[in-house]
Amino acid sequence: MPHIKLEYTGNIKITSDFSKLFTEIHDLLSTEMRVSVENCKSRAIQVDNYLVGDGSKKGAFVHLEVCVLTGKSKQQKNKAGEMLLILLKIFFTNLPGCENLQISVEIKEMPQELYFKTETHKT
């Protein structure tokens, strides 16, 4: 935990991989929400079936969902959310297909008693 899911519309032409963006997100969450970088799990999902507004081909969206365990303060979540929004703006704003772009961030909480995890290490 946390789980980071980035969804973006298929009309956005991605010109680089997401590793740099995800590294920045992990570092930000580590600093602002005091999570362990080693526990961050990120994925990007291109959404090909979507409709934005009136259906204009120029309509696009990016939505970042960050799921964290309960116990973070409202201030921590608000600051992290605002800073994540800035990171997304920097990454996406000048990409082809982002003429009418909507960017959103959602921070969700999961009760610790409902999160189950195991780890395996092979050497």
- Which residues, 6+ apart, have CB-to-CB distance to 91 below 8 Å? 21
Q: What is the pLDDT of residues 56-89, one digit of tens each?
A: 888 999 999 999 999 999 999 999 999 999 999 9
Distance, first Cα to last Cα, the chain? 23
Rg (CA), the chain: 16
User: For residue 90, what is the domain's CATH number?
Assistant: 3.30.429.10
What backbone torsions phi and psi does residue 46 show, to the nearest 5 degrees?
A: -80, 130
- Alpha carbon 24 to chain centroid, angstroms: 11
Residue 121 lies in a domain: no
**How many domains is the chain partitioned into structurally?**
1
Range(s) of the domain holding residue 108: 3-114
CA distance 123 to 63: 37
Residue 40 lies in a domain: yes
5 beta partners: 43, 65
Residue 122 lies in a domain: no
- Which residues, 6+ apart, have CB-to-CB distance to 98 below 8 Å? 12, 60, 92
Residue 30 lies in a domain: yes
Residue 120 lies in a domain: no
Q: What is the pLDDT of residues 38-58, one digit of tens each?
A: 999 999 999 999 999 998 888
Residue 119 lies in a domain: no
Residue 123 lies in a domain: no
Residue 75 lies in a domain: yes
